[in-house]
Structure formats: structure tokens, C-alpha cells
């Protein structure tokens, strides 16, 4: 995964035409790049959360999934393509219709690592089977949407920082 090429962008999320290895974009002061976070909901008005395996934010709650659009031999992935890849890799989920709710910029340093991202917030409905990939998460849960919104406001340290920021976009909808 560290050999993935992420897409660099400006403050408005416009790709600059430059790329860098994922580790370079997340080391030192980093480089502003595109990212996604996705939140799935089901027909019971519940949202899917993941207890994520992560270099910095390990073993805390995140939204359904998160990744970066990549530069590949086929070109640049869209937010929707990156989200579909994320859902397939992390849960084996295919065919979700996605809605892009908007984006936010996020920067913070954590020792030698950093996050410097223009992060798109995508949502979609899914009520099928879940098989969490043990390489990316410890466990998952479906939780009532209103209960989740209350908990993330009252207990933000229990969640990834991008989940906390992403919820602000969700609440505007």
C-alpha cells in the first residue's frame, strides 16, 4: 500500500497534475492530496461504523471507510471509483449508489506523520451482508443514526478526526 500514488491538489480540491507516494504525502509537513470518507446507511436508519486499524488513529471508531483516490496506469480515480474500491476491499460490498455531499480540508501532525487532505464525504444506502476485512478493521457496528450523531458530538476523541469533520457536512444535509 505504501507504493500507492496519491493525487496532489490545491486548497479547493483541484488536482495539480502531480502525484506522490502515499508515505510522502503523510510524512513531515505532508502534501495536500485527495481523500475520501464514506458513510453507509441501511433501511433501518442505522449507519455503519468501523473500528479502524490505522498507523496513527488505531482502534478508534471511524465512518464506514476511508481511502485516497489513486493515480494508476489507467489514470486518476474519481472519488466514486475510490469509494467503490474502498467498500470492496474493506467489506466485499459492490454496487452501492453514492452521493458526494461535499468536502473539507484537514491538516494535523502526529509525530513524524501528518494528514494533509482534501477529503470528500460520500454516502450510500446498503442493507446487505457485511464481511469486514481483518487487515483494515477490528470490528464494525450498525448504530442508529441519531444515536451516532449524538455520540460523536459528545465524545469526539472516540472517533477519527476526519469522521468528526465529515459529520459536519452530513448534518448540513
What's 115's domain CATH number? 3.90.79.10
Identify the pLDDT of residue 108. 82
Task: Encode pLDDT of 80-105 as tens digits.
Answer: 999 999 999 999 999 999 999 999 99
- Count the Cβ atoms, other than its own, within 10 Å of residue 31: 19
Identify the pLDDT of residue 140. 97
Identify the pLDDT of residue 2. 58
Task: Encode pLDDT of 123-171 as tens digits.
Answer: 999 999 999 999 999 999 999 999 999 999 999 999 998 999 999 998 8
* Span 35-64, average pLDDT: 92
Mean pLDDT, the chain, as a whole number? 93
Phi, psi of 126 (to 5 degrees): -155, 130
- Cα 129 to Cα 92, 110, 126, 166: the distances in Å are 9, 35, 9, 25
Q: Answer yes or no: is pLDDT of 19 > 90.
A: yes
Identify the pLDDT of residue 131. 95
Between 54 and 20, the more confident residue is 20
Between 112 and 32, the more confident residue is 32
Residue 34 burial (10 A CB sphere; 0-12, 13-18, 19+)? buried
Q: How many domains does the chain have?
A: 1
Residue 114's pLDDT band, with cuts at 50, 70 and 90, is confident
Domain around 42: 5-172
Amino acid at each position: 500500500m505504501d507504493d500507492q500514488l496519491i493525487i496532489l491538489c490545491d486548497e479547493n480540491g483541484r488536482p495539480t497534475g502531480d502525484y506522490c507516494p502515499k508515505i510522502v504525502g503523510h510524512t513531515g509537513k505532508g502534501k495536500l492530496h485527495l481523500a475520501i470518507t464514506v458513510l453507509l446507511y441501511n433501511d433501518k436508519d442505522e449507519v455503519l461504523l468501523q473500528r479502524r486499524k490505522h498507523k496513527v488513529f488505531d482502534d478508534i471508531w471511524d465512518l464506514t471507510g476511508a481511502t485516497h483516490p489513486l493515480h494508476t496506469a489507467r489514470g486518476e480515480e474519481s472519488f466514486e471509483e475510490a469509494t467503490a474500491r474502498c467498500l470492496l476491499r474493506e467489506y466485499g460490498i459492490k454496487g452501492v449508489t453514492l452521493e458526494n455531499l461535499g468536502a473539507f480540508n484537514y491538516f494535523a501532525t502526529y509525530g513524524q506523520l501528518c494528514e494533509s487532505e482534501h477529503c470528500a464525504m460520500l454516502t450510500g444506502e446498503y442493507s446487505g451482508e457485511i464481511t469486514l476485512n481483518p487487515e483494515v478493521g477490528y470490528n464494525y457496528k450498525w448504530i442508529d443514526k441519531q444515536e451516532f450523531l449524538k455520540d460523536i458530538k459528545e465524545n469526539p476523541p472516540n472517533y477519527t478526526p476526519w469522521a468528526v469533520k465529515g459529520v459536519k457536512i452530513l448534518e448540513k444535509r
